[in-house]
């Protein structure tokens, strides 16, 4: 019985809130809204054909505007820029793996080379950097006692 | 049989949306204007109740109809023009509300029709033995607007469409592209929150 009453009261409240919110339908735009809206739309849409595709719209923008010459210059510049970029792109040497012979591009330096090891900033060849190779294989198993703390790690330089 | 000529007359005077859409696509702007005339008030009410600002609403309504005209070729006719334009309005308004959230909002409300004074809900409110009986229309309008603005965009959309514009669950589900169950559930939670916000007016 109590539960029924509670439900009834909740329904009543719900219903009243719904009716209260519905009062918002009495809020109306000013009486000139419709005329104003139609006039603005007419102005905005004058000359625009309905539902034209993007290509047609671009064409219209180019040739039907008030300053078509300026637009033509802008578009010509953009096209020229695009063409130059494409040409530059074609002049880049082909670096695909098939086009490089096996010996090409691989620097072979003997270990006796007296090349001075230097930091990258002092190096004459900025792109030839020493590679540090650790003497221990990475998957080595611990055979002796585990060494703790700082100590020297055997390392050699390679290129 | 006798109804046929009558229907033709009605159709000539008030052509269906589909006919107007076809004419508008064929570059007949006056047909599009007729469609605008038919739906601008409803779209206005939807956007206005969602934004709570009449200046923003006017701009958005224009934006909706301009957008619709520009993409009229994309309207396949699978749904009614009314559903389609509502969908555009809802999406654009929700996008606008997301942007507005970042830059802050202001309230500017429309005038209230004097017919509200005869509404049973208001009469019931004023017949109560409580302080709310002295509430002015303007106070109530501000309270209702503030309460609506506390809802999430999804919840506000269904409340506006159902409780203010009187649309059916199925119709709303079609516009929002969700199930009727989702619409009911959003309405339930929205009303629960509104009850909390408008507790002083509840019976």
pTM tops 0.80, yes or no: no
Judge whether B142 lies within some domain: no
How close is the nearest chain A Cα to the Cα of B1, in Å? 38
Distance CA B21, CA B72 (A): 8
Q: What does the block give as tokens for B183? A: 């619409």
Judge whether B135 lies within some domain: no
- Return the axis-axis angle of helices B137-149 and A2-21, rounded to nearest 10°: 110
CATH code of the domain containing B7:
1.10.1740.10
Judge whether B136 lies within some domain: no
Closest Cβ–Cβ partner in B33, B144, B191 for A14:
B191
A28 and chain B in contact, CB less than 8 A: yes
Distance CA B30, CA B33 (A): 5
For B169-201, the DSSP string reads HHHHHHHHTS-HHHHHHHHHHHHHHHHHHTGGG
Q: Give the three-class secondary structure for A95.
A: coil
Judge whether B95 lies within some domain: yes
Contact call for A20 and B201, based on CB within 8 A: yes
Contact call for A26 and B112, based on CB within 8 A: yes
Judge whether B19 lies within some domain: yes
Q: How crowded is the C-beta side of B75, counted as CA atoms within 13 Å?
A: 26
Judge whether B92 lies within some domain: yes
pLDDT at residue B164, rounded to an integer: 94
Judge whether B5 lies within some domain: yes
| Residue B74: pLDDT band with limits 50, 70, 90 | confident
Q: Give the three-class secondary structure for A67.
A: coil
Judge whether B172 lies within some domain: no
Q: How many helices, marked H, and strands, marked E, lie in chain A? A: 4, 3
CB pairs under 8 A between A and B: 134
Task: List the alpha helices (DSSP H) in B26-179.
Answer: 29-51, 54-70, 81-103, 120-126, 137-149, 153-159, 169-176
pLDDT at residue B57, rounded to an integer: 93
pLDDT in tens, chain A (159 residues): 566 777 777 777 888 888 889 999 999 898 899 999 999 999 888 766 665 556 666 666 666 655 667 778 888 899 999 998 888 877 766 655 555 555 554 555 555 555 555 455 555 555 666 666 666 655 555 555 555 556 666 666 665
Q: What does the block give as tokens for B48? A: 């206005």
Our count of domains for chain B comes to: 1
State the residue range of the domain holding B100: 1-106
């Amino acid at each position: 019985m109590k539960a029924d009453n509670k439900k009834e009261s909740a329904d009543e409240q719900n219903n009243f809130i719904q009716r209260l919110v519905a009062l918002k339908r009495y809020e109306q735009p000013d009486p000139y809204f419709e005329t104003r809206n139609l006039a603005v739309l007419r102005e905005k849409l004058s000359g625009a054909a309905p539902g034209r595709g993007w290509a047609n719209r671009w064409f219209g923008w180019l040739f039907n505007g008030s300053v078509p010459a300026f637009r033509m210059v802008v578009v010509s510049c953009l096209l020229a820029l695009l063409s130059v970029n494409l040409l530059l792109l074609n002049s880049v040497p082909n670096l695909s793996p098939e086009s490089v012979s096996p010996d090409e591009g691989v620097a072979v330096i003997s270990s006796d080379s007296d090349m001075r090891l230097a930091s990258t900033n002092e190096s004459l060849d900025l792109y030839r950097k020493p590679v540090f190779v650790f003497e221990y294989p990475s998957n080595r198993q611990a055979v002796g006692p585990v060494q703790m703390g700082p100590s020297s790690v055997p390392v050699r330089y390679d290129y | 049989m006798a109804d046929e000529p009558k229907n033709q007359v009605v159709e000539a005077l008030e052509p269906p949306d589909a006919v107007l859409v076809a004419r508008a696509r064929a570059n007949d702007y006056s047909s599009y204007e007729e469609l605008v005339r038919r739906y601008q008030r409803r779209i206005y009410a939807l956007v206005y109740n969602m934004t709570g600002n009449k200046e923003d609403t006017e701009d958005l309504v224009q934006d909706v109809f301009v957008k619709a005209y520009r993409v009229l070729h994309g309207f396949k006719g699978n749904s009614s023009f009314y559903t389609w334009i509502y969908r555009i309005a809802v999406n654009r308004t929700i996008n606008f509300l997301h942007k507005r959230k970042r830059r802050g909002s202001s309230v500017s409300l429309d005038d209230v029709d004097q017919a509200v004074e005869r509404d049973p809900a208001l009469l019931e409110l004023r017949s109560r033995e409580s302080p709310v009986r002295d509430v002015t229309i303007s106070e109530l309008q501000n309270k209702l607007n503030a309460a609506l603005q506390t809802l999430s965009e999804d919840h506000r959309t269904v409340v506006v469409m159902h409780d203010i514009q009187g649309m059916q669950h199925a119709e709303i589900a079609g516009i929002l592209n969700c199930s009727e169950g989702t619409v009911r559930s959003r309405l339930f939670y929205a009303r629960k929150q509104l009850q909390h916000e408008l507790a002083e007016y509840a019976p």
